[in-house]
A and B are shown apart, each in its own frame.
Chain A
Amino acid sequence: MKWIATLLIFLLSVGTRAETPDTEVSDTLSAATVAASMKLPLRLDRLASPFTSAFVMEMEQRGLGSPRALSAIVPNLHIPDYGSAMTSSVYLRGFGSRIDNPVLGLYIDDIPVLDKNLYDFDFLDIRRADLLRGPQGTLYGRNAMTGVLSLATLGPSVWQGGRAAAEYGSGGTFSARASWYGDRIGIAAGFRHTDGFYTNEFDGKKADPSDAVSLRLRHERRLREDLQLDQTLSASWLKQGGWPYRQSVGGEVLPVQYNDGSAYRRISVLAGNKLVWKRERYTLHSMTSLQGLFDRMDIDQDFTTASMFTLTQRQRQGALTQEMVFKPVPKVSWWDSQSGVFAFVRYNAMHAPVRFKEDGIRTLILDNANAHIPAYFGKLAFDENEFVIGSDFGLFSYNAALYHESYFTFGRWSLTAGVRIDHEGNHMSYDSQALVHYRLTGTMSDGTPLMPSSRSFETVYEGDRDLFYFQVLPKISALYDFGEAQAWATVSKGYKSGGFNTQLFSDILQGQMMDGMMADMGVHLDGAGEGTTASKTAYKPETSLSAEIGGRYAHGGVRLSGSLFYILCRNQQITVFPPGKNTGRMMANAGRSVSYGAEVEAAYTHGGLSLSGAWGYAHAAFQDYSDGNSDYAGCRIPYAPEHTLSLRGSYRFDFSGRRVRSLTVGLDGSGVGRIWWNEDNSLSQPFYLLMGADVTLSFEHFDLFCTGANLLDREYDTFYFKSVGNSFFQRGKPRRLSAGVRVTF
């Protein structure tokens, strides 16, 4: 933690002789107009892309407290709540992935969040959230394959004062936050605890308790007349249980019951240093960030009461990013542009041992081996009740990109053309090892053991792999402005990074250990040495090419927008389970897919009445996908919903009294489905609608509020998977109620 303190001192000491900044905007809590991203040259409503924006007041009123909660308002966005904060999978417009790289880029105060393990966090004074749908690769590069979420936090330049809130609700959930923003510095801190919602029947304890602490410091000042500094330091600590998976046996879903402790712990640090240099002829933005992720996951990987095997994954990750955006002052009225460079380096030291326990050794290893060992030798047995397949990885990656976008305006026409050249390199060094002591129980005719003593056998698998690729990401769009309405069309490309299947190495080593041990006994099984090797662990980037048309209309209190999209996906990364009784998962470039669909958003406000709705439809299917055993062409892509629906109505009763200002009552519903759980589409979750409500009583300096989620206590599944041949579901969270107070001072 010493370096964090050093960094903090450094950040706060920069430019101590600078002038006092201008406080340009005094109150933007409800609907700030300050752009959330330095790379958006246009007002959002002039973009030829569909977007959904949410502001701090709305998010707090509706209880939208994390990126996952935005699923409730963004059409075709689905961030399911399952597993733990580590498994923050994102699905948008029919695409997504359960592990590794996301299909959605995430920026917080212009800091690109590189690791998906940081995508699930508690909002803390998020001023606004803008989610742009459609490939945003030209400006945002890697992983902005189906969209980008840009979050902007409150800062001293847009709001000054103090805020605090406390809330208590179902599941023993308590949260509190406080923040203060002065002339130059803002500080915010939050805490959240929950006892959990799922009981592990094995020990009678809650499976998913959670504690989280967040801290953010913001420092903004004008260093010179033409130079603005914006510094952010965010840190968070999280400790939680999770993975409340229920085994399905013969159509019956058993309770959550697993015997080995499972937990996720995470410390994250994001430090950003943004400089905006406004010169007479140009503006130069520079965003530098340091990112640290220190996390550890321990899970009972069989999710049953059997002592089979557990996985620990510990990461020590550091990254440095740098982005420069150059925006010349237009010399002509019809042409504007921006150009940028981006680069990052990242190193991740990962320690991922798999511990095989008594039942796992027997069922996953010995039973399989003994089926092939000649009876004369007796049975294979290990001296160990447990042994570890250790895996250590050094994962280095870098990215370098150049991009440019030009914006042309001809009368009512606005045209955009841009391209990005993106290069990424990945290097993995791996070192897997296991040591066991084995013996055979067979005896000679006189009773003498064939093996008088156990024999030690060590397997070591080490080496390194590289993966390099280039991506060219063009974009072209046109928008016609009718005045109160705009129509637009966009063709753009995005990509999701490639990488390595580190989780496959325990399988590789397990296979090599068995082959080697059998060879040590002089036995060579069919197929020995033909298992997966490190060369098969790399997977390529996934790309999407999207064409879409849309329009939006705004008049008075009415806002309408809609879009139709068609996305071709190549080298789609799909999580697959290797056949047989394997323990790991692996990412595979499944082939080709297509997703087409529609999105509609509507809102109406009149006086205190506010109505809004959003609907998304995505038909996402494989065009070409065979896993070697089955052909899934035509089948729907698993885990991504076909429909999303969001409905909300609220009414604010204004009072003329000095103390009580207003009463706001809101009712909402958010629906998702159908979600197919497997490649052959034999299992699915039908569409379900979760009802919610909120009531806010506003006083002069504070609000009293209560919210409810899943009010009808609807039962639904939020996740399904198979492990070691067993099927598991996770049920969605039950009805939740909470009440609290918000104070502004």
Chain B
Amino acid sequence: MKKVLMLLAAAALLVSCGKDNKDENPANEFAGATYSGTVSVVYKGETVETPNVTIDAMVEENATTMDLLFHQIQFVPAMPAMDVMVPGIPFTIDAAGKVTFGGEDIIPTTYPNPMPVERYKVSGFTGTIEGDKISFSLNFGAFPTSYTGTETK
């Protein structure tokens, strides 16, 4: 009996250790990256594509959210290019390393001087990072936007 209890205790310890490992912050496995790709914005019913748009996915240590920084993005053809930060995007990472992220009602800010841009409030935000590929879609205010890119080395 004593032996059984010892085995159960060891098993519990192993289970406990395994649970601890499973609960470990996924940021340990996704520390952020920089991507280059094409952004597509639906403007007045037409899709406007802009290639070579750089995005930084930034994750602080032990964080469960990431910030996405869009470099020189244009939602409207005539608007000046802007650096826009979408902060605090929750994400998870599965055992295969796939990062899934998304969120609702996130107010982006300008960058590096962080001013909230209500006009481009983010909704319907879903996306994934698999390997060196990133893809997501969201609505920047009234502008349905999607992005596919590849990590830059």
Contacts and interface: CB of A to CB of B under 8 A. Distances in A.
Interface of A: 372, 374, 376-377, 440, 442, 444-445, 450-451, 455, 518-526
Interface stretch (B19-27, B36-44, B50-58, B81-89): B81-89
Contacts of A376: 117-119
Contacts of B110: 521-523
Given A376-B118, A518-B80, A520-B112, 14 more contacts: A376-B117, A377-B115, A440-B115, A444-B118, A445-B118, A450-B115, A451-B113, A451-B115, A455-B113, A522-B84, A522-B112, A522-B115, A524-B72, A524-B80
B125 interface: no
Contact of A522 (B82, B118, B119): B82
Nearest to B116: A444
B1 interface: no
A375 to B, nearest CB: 10
Please list the 5 inter-chain residue pairs (A to B) with the smallest Cβ-Cβ separation, ordered nearest first: A522-B110, A522-B83, A524-B81, A450-B115, A522-B111
B78 to A, nearest CB: 10
Indicate the size class of the contact surface on chain B.
Answer: 10 to 19
Contacts of A451: 113, 115
Nearest to A452: B115
Contacts of B113: 451, 455, 520-522
A519 B110 CA distance: 10
Interface in B95-153: 110-113, 115-119
A520 B110 CA distance: 9
A444 B108 CA distance: 13
Nearest to B71: A524
Interface of B: 72, 79-84, 110-113, 115-119
Contacts of A524: 72, 80-83
A522 B80 CA distance: 10
Nearest to B112: A520
A377 B118 CA distance: 10
B68 to A, nearest CB: 14
Contacts of A525: 80
Nearest to A442: B115
Given A521-B110, A522-B110, A524-B72, A372 B80 contact: yes
B65 to A, nearest CB: 21
A525 B119 CA distance: 20
Contacts of B117: 376
5 contacts: A522-B82, A522-B84, A522-B110, A524-B72, A526-B80
Nearest to B115: A450
Nearest to A457: B113
A455 B3 CA distance: 70
A105 to B, nearest CB: 52
A374 B115 contact: no
B80 to A, nearest CB: 5
A521 B115 CA distance: 8
A524 B82 CA distance: 6
A372 B79 CA distance: 8
Nearest to A377: B115
A377 B116 CA distance: 10
Contacts of A520: 112-113
Most chain B beta carbons < 10 A, residue from A442, A451, A524: A524
Nearest to B109: A522
Nearest to A448: B116
Given A524-B72, A524-B81, A525-B80, A450 B119 contact: no
A303 to B, nearest CB: 34
A374 B80 CA distance: 8
A607 B151 CA distance: 98
A84 to B, nearest CB: 43
A520 B115 CA distance: 11
Nearest to B69: A522
Nearest to A376: B119
A523 B118 contact: no
A582 B119 CA distance: 34
B152 to A, nearest CB: 19
A221 B80 CA distance: 75
Contacts of B80: 372, 374, 518, 523-526
A455 B111 CA distance: 13
A516 B70 CA distance: 18
Contacts of B81: 523-524
B113 to A, nearest CB: 5
A693 B35 CA distance: 83
Contacts of A372: 80
Most chain A beta carbons < 10 A, residue from B84, B115, B116: B115
Nearest to B85: A522
Nearest to B74: A524
Contacts of B112: 520, 522
Contacts of A377: 115
B82 A523 contact: yes
A521 B111 CA distance: 6
Contacts of B82: 374, 522-524
A374 B111 contact: no
A393 to B, nearest CB: 31
Nearest to B79: A374
A711 B107 CA distance: 77
A376 B72 CA distance: 17
A13 B36 CA distance: 77
Contacts of B119: 376
Nearest to A524: B81
A437 to B, nearest CB: 12
Contacts of A450: 115-116
A440 B113 CA distance: 11
A516 to B, nearest CB: 11
B138 to A, nearest CB: 18
B9 to A, nearest CB: 57
A454 to B, nearest CB: 11
A450 B116 CA distance: 6
A372 B80 CA distance: 7
Nearest to B70: A522
Contacts of B118: 376, 444-445
A525 B110 CA distance: 15
